[in-house]
Chain A
Amino acid sequence: QSVLTQPPSASGTPGQRVTISCSGSRPNIGLNVVSWFLHVPGAAPKLLIYGTSQRPSGVPDRFSGSKSGTSASLAISGLQSEDEADYYCATWDDSLNGWVFGGGTKVTVL
């Protein structure tokens, strides 16, 4: 059972907007910034969002992050076939004194 809760799956057609939620609590999302990662099993994970809403250079502006209270979300607009992957939220947890990840959301492009 992950400390951060994500839906196991999400889907959309090409060009659609998909939003992935990440629910936590005060010691983690409530007090710290959130990161989002894309992972294709077998390959290196990739940072999509850091500092809750910042995009590293090279990440398209189709990806955006936000936070409200103890929940965060990742939005993917203009969905593309290459966006099919597992997406994870993560943050530091002040109570556990460690990084915590969500269980991951598998995004499928229909």
Chain B
Amino acid sequence: EVELVESGGGLVQPGRSLRLSCVASGINFHAYAMHWVRHAPGRGLEWVSGINRNSGSMGYADSVKGRFTISRDNAKSSLYLEMNSLRLEDTASYYCAKETGAYFYGSQSHGMDVWGRGTTVIVSS
């Protein structure tokens, strides 16, 4: 069974950092691009970041560019999101999602077909 399990969420003060992790099982993790998507209270889904299968290309939403860093370790079937300079508006459930193919962008990207249950980040003083 394909499964993605996120961890690392919690309560953090504005300006501090947090690192999210996502461990995959039941898939050839190295073959697929991956995404982070978040859902803030009272708002819709928002794409945060994506990374190609070999870490050759990464992308970020403008709202997190320069503050968040996505990375992966294919040997550990793991995806990460390093979040720095956290803001109140970063409060959300963060989901790890598998891309249908090797690329997270453009016409070669068809969507996120497997999702984790999410980890919650609360930024508050």
Quick check: A104 and B45 within 8 Å, CB to CB?
A: yes
Q: Which residue of B lies closest to A4 (CB)?
A: B44
Quick check: B106 and A32 within 8 Å, CB to CB?
A: yes
Q: Which of A43, A51, A101, A103 contacts B47, CB < 8 Å?
A: A101
Q: Which residue of B lies closest to A100 (CB)?
A: B47
Q: How large is the interface on B (under 10, 10 to 19, 20 to 34, 35 or more residues)?
A: 20 to 34
| B interface list, Cβ under 8 A from A | 35, 37, 39, 44-47, 50, 59-62, 95, 97, 100, 104-107, 109-118
Q: How large is the interface on A (under 10, 10 to 19, 20 to 34, 35 or more residues)?
A: 20 to 34
| A interface list, Cβ under 8 A from B | 2, 31-33, 35, 37, 39, 41, 43-47, 50-51, 54, 56, 86, 88, 90, 92, 94, 96-104
Q: Which of A44, A92, A99 has the most B CB atoms < 10 Å from its CB?
A: A99
Cα separation A88 to B62 with both chains bound (whole Å): 20
Q: Which residue of B lies closest to A34 (CB)?
A: B111
